[in-house]
Structure 1
Amino acid sequence: MLLLPGAEPFRHDGGEVGVLVCHGFTGSPQSVRPWADYLAERGLSVALPLLPGHGTRWQDMQITGWQDWYAEVDRELWRLRERCAQVFVFGLSMGGALALRLAAHHGDAVSGVCVVNPANKVHGLAAKALPVVRHLVRTSKGIASDIAKDGATETGYDRVPLHAAHSFRRFLQRLDAELPLVTQPLLLMHSPEDHVVPPADSARILSRVSSRDVTERLLERSYHVATLDHDAGTIFDESYAFIGRLTGAAAAGEGAAGRG
């Protein structure tokens, strides 16, 4: 099966600090690849998987569900843990939700969580009708490329497969009940103007987690896919500083220093 441009998974073997980066619903690694590259260039070990059903055509996603997407990031987390002393989980949108569930389920195996415009709920009146509508209508309009920056585009599907959307909704309901299990340091960055995931989702997540070390940052110049938008540099710098604070600057930059 041919992949869409930029949808390839990415892995970089760096130092003893690892980062798992998770992309969003109907998207691909392309939307967060600059983030992964930034971290890899600074000596971190980085894994950016392609979630099942993504990065090809929407019909392939129609036969997958949240268990498939979560299993993929769970496997990547364990691979990172085998070679790294500390592992962080990062994510955009649904990727942020997946990162939060990893933190909830893996406890001390996850050293910290960084999420950008994380999803907490499928919104709109149609969401409640998904259990029935998905059997009558196969897709709805796509959600890719909600970006303020001129010329920037996201590699993602132009249609949302409704079977997958229904599974995503059920996943978010499950995650919401599990958020109190998240105790790790949390950096949450979100856009006040987001046409896919409203700021209320971030507020809900912040109110539900049990983390004591919590930092919230507003991305004032970006829409939903902020990792490709005007505030991308802020996301990259803030997330790297977050790792450095929790590991020690020397540990975070060990690989980069070693390459001279």
Structure 2
Amino acid sequence: MSEAVMAGAEAFAFDGGKTGVLLVHGFTGSPQSMRYLGERLGERGYSILGPRLPGHGVSPAAMAKTTANDWVNCAEDALLELSAKCDKTFVAGLSMGGTLSLYLAASHPDKVAGVIPINAAVQIDSPDLAGLAYARGLPEFVPGIGSDMVDTSTKELAYDQVPVTCVKQVMGLAATARALLPRIKCPTLVINSRVDHVLSPANATVIANHVGSSRIETLWLDNSYHVATIDNDKDLIAAEIDSFVTRNL
């Protein structure tokens, strides 16, 4: 019998017009980190889909049984579902969700009208994480990375432990997305916090410098850390994504 999804971590969808926005959450997180953004964009008339990636929003043990293939397949299925009922579909994602968004834009140019990576990972310059990828004799779990926010009154619904077996999966996914950046030809809005304690903000520069699109914009956030979609800049993010989508319809 499968484990129950944590309260608040459920996938979400809001029916709207013929323009869709797919919202993908991050590594060890849940759709909770994207729901506020989804609600604000839904109010603006977009059709919204926020999938829950396999193994997420349940337990670290459940996540340990999943791979990057599972996460990619879920994101692709969500893109196919949303694009089937929309004339144009944009994809935004936080952290690993941003990585998946870039992967989708590179792999499905016919279905992604624009991509918005938010504090996304295309290179994980962490010796500590890299040391976990292939080493022997490691514990099953290490301390989590959730709730990196300026606004300490809000908490991200994320695991307090990271399955070690998933570390190599996310590092491989980031490297794959990095190599695929030149294939991204759609309009791209790179959103990144100036201060991020989980991923280096240098990722934003790498993305902006290597995507193959001729329309690249960068928005730097001054009042949020890693989980920016529910931090102090959450309304700015919603407004800027709305503006970006409108400009590229």
Under TM normalisation by the shorter chain, which class is it?
A: over 0.9
Paired position in structure 2 for 1:250: none
Identical residues among aligned pairs (%): 39
Q: 2:33 aligns with which of 31, 53, 58?
A: 31
Shift of 1:127: 3.2
Q: 1:173 aligns with which of 169, 172, 175?
A: 175
Paired position in structure 1 for 2:82: 80
Aligned letter for 2:148? D
- Rounded to whole Å, the distance in 1 between the matches of 2:240 and 2:44 is 14
Indicate conservation of the 8 Å contact 1:9/1:50, yes or no.
yes
Q: Structure 1 residues 159 and 184, CA, compared in 2 at 3 Å: closer, same or farther? A: same
Is there any run of 5+ residues in structure 2 with no aligned partner, and where?
A: none
- Rounded to whole Å, the distance in 1 between the matches of 2:83 and 2:134 is 41
- Rounded to whole Å, the distance in 1 between the matches of 2:98 and 2:79 is 14
Indicate conservation of the 8 Å contact 1:96/1:119, yes or no.
yes
Q: 2:130 aligns with which of 128, 131, 136?
A: 128
Q: Which moved more, 1:152-161 or 1:129-138?
A: 129-138
- Rounded to whole Å, the distance in 1 between the matches of 2:239 and 2:125 is 31
Spell out, residue by residue over 1:142-181, the C-alpha distance to the aligned partner (whole angstroms, 9 max, x if none): 0000010130110000011111111111111111111110
- Rounded to whole Å, the distance in 1 between the matches of 2:207 and 2:241 is 18
The TM-score with structure 2 as length reference comes to 0.96
Aligned letter for 1:65? T
Shift of 1:28: 0.2
- Rounded to whole Å, the distance in 1 between the matches of 2:136 and 2:23 is 30
Instruction: Report matched runs for 1:183-222 at 5 Å.
Output: 183-222=185-224
Paired position in structure 1 for 2:73: 71
Deviating runs (4+, > 6 A) in structure 1? none
Aligned letter for 1:110? V
Q: Structure 1 residues 135 and 180, CA, compared in 2 at 3 Å: closer, same or farther? A: farther
Aligned letter for 2:16? G
Spell out, residue by residue over 1:100-143, the C-alpha distance to the aligned partner (whole angstroms, 9 max, x if none): 00000011321001121111122322333333336522111100
- Rounded to whole Å, the distance in 2 between the matches of 1:127 and 1:108 is 35
The structure where helix makes up a greater share of residues is: 1
The TM-score with structure 1 as length reference comes to 0.92
Paired position in structure 2 for 1:164: 166
Q: Structure 1 residues 14 and 135, CA, compared in 2 at 3 Å: closer, same or farther? A: farther
Q: Structure 1 residues 149 and 246, CA, compared in 2 at 3 Å: closer, same or farther? A: same
Aligned letter for 1:31? S
Pairwise CA RMSD: 1.2
Instruction: Report matched runs for 1:35-50 at 5 Å.
Output: 35-50=37-52
Paired position in structure 2 for 1:93: 95
- Rounded to whole Å, the distance in 2 between the matches of 1:97 and 1:161 is 19
Aligned letter for 2:224? S
Aligned letter for 1:93? S
1:109 equivalent to 2:102? Answer: no
SS in 2 for 1:11: strand
Is there any run of 5+ residues in structure 1 with no aligned partner, and where?
A: 248-260
